[in-house]
Amino acid sequence: MTFNNSGSFNQSDNEVQLGDSSHMNRISTDSYVRMTHKSLLSLSLVHLLSGVDLDSLDVNVREGASFTNISGYTEWVSITTPLISIGWDWWLDTQQNGFVLRRIGAPRSNIMIVDSMQKDLDYTSVSMLLEDVIDNFNWNGRVLAHIAICCS
């Protein structure tokens, strides 16, 4: 999948391109890879793994029907050095036509976004920027395909 600057997606293998990849920083002593928001948008990511939370398969039995909450996790990594990792949890939303995976909670990552003065943004701002990136690329299909193979 490729995400270009116009916001469209192109399907190709396992890769998500979030723009042009010209800005990559070194890993810091605190284990973060510092980059600007623009650099974040230039990352190429590949799907590493996804899974279903086994404890989410508890079924609440009701008369005539049952309701199951299905949730899981996914991890994506860069194809660059240093390695960038972004992971997040998801849940299966069946309230619409068909179903879709939705990100839940804050993402986990070794990314620290810096401002134009190279100062770290606060945790909330970094989390919001990562959430925006995650929520605006088509990761659902790759995760669904992976869990269909590994969890069946």
CB atoms within 10 A of CB 4: 12
Of residues 4 and 89, more confidence is placed in 89
- The pair of three-digit structure tokens given for residue 23, joined into one six-digit string: 């800005």
CA 50 to chain centre: 10
Q: 2-150 maps to which CATH number?
A: 3.10.450.610
Q: Is the pTM of this model over 0.75?
A: yes
119-144 pLDDT, tens digit each:
999 999 999 999 999 999 889 999 99
17-58 pLDDT, tens digit each:
444 444 445 788 899 999 999 999 988 899 999 999 987 555
State how far the Cα of 110 lies from the Cα of 118, in Å rounded to an integer: 16
Would you state the pLDDT for residue 22? 40
- Tell me the three state secondary structure of residue 25: coil
State how far the Cα of 89 lies from the Cα of 20, in Å rounded to an integer: 27
